[in-house]
Amino acid sequence: MLTDTQLFINGVWRPASDGGQTAVHDPATGEVVGHHAMATKADLEEAVLAAEKAFPLWRDTPAIERGAILHRAAALLRDRVSEIAQVLTMEMGKPIIEAETELRSAADILDWFAEEARRIYGRVIPSRSHNVMQLALKQPVGPVAAFTPWNFPVSQLVRKVAPALAAGCTMVAKPPEDTPASPAVLADVLSEAGLPAGVLNLVYGNPPDIANYLIPHPAIRKVSFTGSVPVGKQLASLAGKHMKRITMELGGHSPVMVFDDADIEVAAKDIATFKFRNSGQVCISPTRILVQRGVYDRFVARLREEVEKIEPAHGIHRETRMGPLVSQRRVEAVSNIIADAVADGAKLLTGGERINRPGFFYSPTLLEQVPAHARILNEEPFGPVAMLAPFDTIEEAIVEANRLAYGLAAYAYTTSIRTSQILQNRVETGMLAINHTALGLPELPLGGVKDSGFGSEGGPEAIEAYVFTKLVTQKS
């Protein structure tokens, strides 16, 4: 059983003002394992006011002190990795090894932004007169409303909290209701590290109601959302209507291009591992695997061999490589989109069925000969499935890679510098990984273009999202 998750407002955990709560399930069994509070409007108002009141104090706290709190929180999080990983796996389903990796990565993100806090430089602009000084100052934008998803319940929240707090902003965050308990630990470690009350507030409840209350609120100056494209578009429109700054980290439909000259063994092993991480519920998960015709059969055989070794099981066992999907809703969505592809004429290479056991399990699935109009080649599948297709020329691969409105991540395997350079110039995504899959480190920009969103959640660019530039020009 998990402990019930309450609301964290002005430095205190407490139930919803009307006592409302909702059940949380273990995706590997379907059983209820806990509850989370459901914030009322009065609770949301209290959270916003706490963030508004804490802002001047936090903004004026020296950057080096803000960074020290983030560093202490990172150390406290590291100390609790094994305990929190169990909570994360129980509510989200991912294998315990992946949960531990996520938590260590969250601690790294806190550490990295703790350092970055003291590098928020402005600039001095040479003036046209000897007695005029012109400064471009970087100042925190103010209280932020943040919405984070269930697939990386802790690290997706840290990606917003760490740069925002480093920059001097305060926040009301709505972590995911499917997985409320593991992100809640972040409030605990930050409080224990010395974060003043009201700087970070966590609320749970009905997502559209919370978004509709927080985004237009005059005290909220910035909106940051990670989740699906349709919800991102709704929230971006609402933010636009109220003239709020936005960061949108949305879905993807990532192409992988495997060229004739690639190391096929490395590519097949990398993709088999990376594709089924977190049961494919990853925004940068490879989905459209394009393979040059000369190596197509060999690559498909090796990939299939690797994928067939994966046996989904409860994530709590250390040997588990793939757990269930997060919810009944997700397992139905994945079953339906794969069934539609097969009905449209796609060939199943492996998988393609729900696993006959309690919980929300679906087998790792590979499809080929999928018609271009099939839903799965146009909508983000967000599950343990990839579609394979051969190509002849680099031009053909690039056209397919750029065909969709998504533009988050792309991958390529090639030993040709020329091919690599063409891809760097022409692939329309926010991220491109060549001959490996290592994206998402704290120091690397993370974000998409086109429908995949706006802004970046890694590297110095992530801090930029939480500051504005103020010009000061002074004559003596």
CA triplet 128, 130, 135: central angle to 5 degrees?
65
Give the C-alpha distances (Å, rounded to integers) separating 68 from 74, 121, 141, 165, 207.
10, 18, 21, 11, 33
Among 306, 380, 451, 457, binds ligand NAD (CB under 6 A): 380
Q: Is 105 in the site for ligand NAD (CB under 6 A)?
A: no
The number of C-alpha atoms within 13 Å of 352 and in the hemisphere containing its C-beta is 16
Query: How far, in Å, CA of 325 to CA of 184, rounded?
Result: 21
Q: Is 29 in the site for ligand NAD (CB under 6 A)?
A: no
Q: Does residue 432 contact residue 401 with C-beta atoms inside 8 Å?
A: no
384 to 423, contacts with ligand NAD by CB under 6 A? none
**CB contact set of 172 (below 8 Å; sequence gap of 6+):** 44, 47, 48, 50, 51, 143, 144, 145, 146, 201, 202, 203, 214, 220
Q: Does residue 81 contact residue 108 with C-beta atoms inside 8 Å?
A: no
Q: Does residue 147 contact residue 447 with C-beta atoms inside 8 Å?
A: no
Among 8, 382, 411, 466, binds ligand NAD (CB under 6 A): 382
Closer to ligand NAD at the Cβ: 114 or 146?
146
x/- track of binding to ligand NAD for residues 339-378 (CB under 6 A): ----------------------------------------
Q: Is 139 in the site for ligand NAD (CB under 6 A)?
A: no
Beta carbon of residue 208, minimum distance to ligand NAD (angstroms, whole number): 4
Closer to ligand NAD at the Cβ: 95 or 227?
227
DSSP letters, 139-191, are EE---EEEE--SSSTTHHHHHHHHHHHHHT--EEEE--SSS-HHHHHHHHHHH
Q: Is 329 in the site for ligand NAD (CB under 6 A)?
A: yes
Find the part of the chain contacting ligand NAD (CB under 6 A) among 66-74, 247-255, 304-312, 361-369: 247-255
Q: Does the active-site annotation cover 169? A: no
Beta carbon of residue 282, minimum distance to ligand NAD (angstroms, whole number): 7
Closer to ligand NAD at the Cβ: 235 or 346?
235
**Alpha-carbon torsion 472, 244, 223, 58, what sign?**
positive
Closer to ligand NAD at the Cβ: 208 or 294?
208
Find the part of the chain contacting ligand NAD (CB under 6 A) among 17-25, 243-251, 299-307, 316-324: 243-251
Beta-sheet pairing, 365-368 with 385-391: parallel
Closer to ligand NAD at the Cβ: 328 or 421?
328
Beta carbon of residue 24, minimum distance to ligand NAD (angstroms, whole number): 13
Query: Which of 283, 368, 380, 457 is the catalytic position?
Result: 283
Q: What is the DSSP letter of 354?
A: B
State the DSSP H helix or E strand holding residue 214, giving kind and residue range, or none if neither: helix 207-214
x/- track of binding to ligand NAD for residues 288-327 (CB under 6 A): ----------------------------------------
Find the part of the chain contacting ligand NAD (CB under 6 A) among 30-38, 105-113, 132-140, 142-150: 142-150
Beta carbon of residue 21, minimum distance to ligand NAD (angstroms, whole number): 16
Q: Does residue 85 contact residue 99 with C-beta atoms inside 8 Å?
A: yes
Query: How far, in Å, CA of 257 to CA of 251, rounded?
Result: 19
Q: Is 147 in the site for ligand NAD (CB under 6 A)?
A: yes
Q: Is 250 in the site for ligand NAD (CB under 6 A)?
A: yes
Q: Is 208 in the site for ligand NAD (CB under 6 A)?
A: yes
Query: Cα-Cα-Cα-Cα dihedral of 22, 28, 33, 39, to 10°?
Result: -30
# of chain residues touching ligand NAD (CB under 6 A): 23
Q: Which two tokens stand for residue 382?
A: 């967000």
Query: Cα-Cα-Cα-Cα dihedral of 181, 441, 410, 415, to 10°?
Result: -140
Between helix 96-116 and helix 81-92 the angle, nearest 10°, is: 120
Among 16, 195, 211, 465, binds ligand NAD (CB under 6 A): 211
Among 251, 312, 364, 459, binds ligand NAD (CB under 6 A): 251
Beta carbon of residue 20, minimum distance to ligand NAD (angstroms, whole number): 16
Q: Is 153 in the site for ligand NAD (CB under 6 A)?
A: no
Query: Which of 46, 52, 102, 249 is the catalytic position?
Result: 249
Q: Is 150 in the site for ligand NAD (CB under 6 A)?
A: yes
Q: Is 151 in the site for ligand NAD (CB under 6 A)?
A: yes
Closer to ligand NAD at the Cβ: 140 or 323?
323
Beta carbon of residue 85, minimum distance to ligand NAD (angstroms, whole number): 19
The total of other beta-carbon atoms located within 10 Å of residue 90's CB is 27
Query: How far, in Å, CA of 152 to CA of 139, rounded?
Result: 29
Length of the chain, in residues: 476
Contacts with ligand NAD, residue ranges (CB under 6 A): 147, 149-151, 176-177, 207-208, 211, 226-228, 231, 234-235, 249-251, 283, 329-330, 380, 382
Give catalytic residue positions: 249, 283
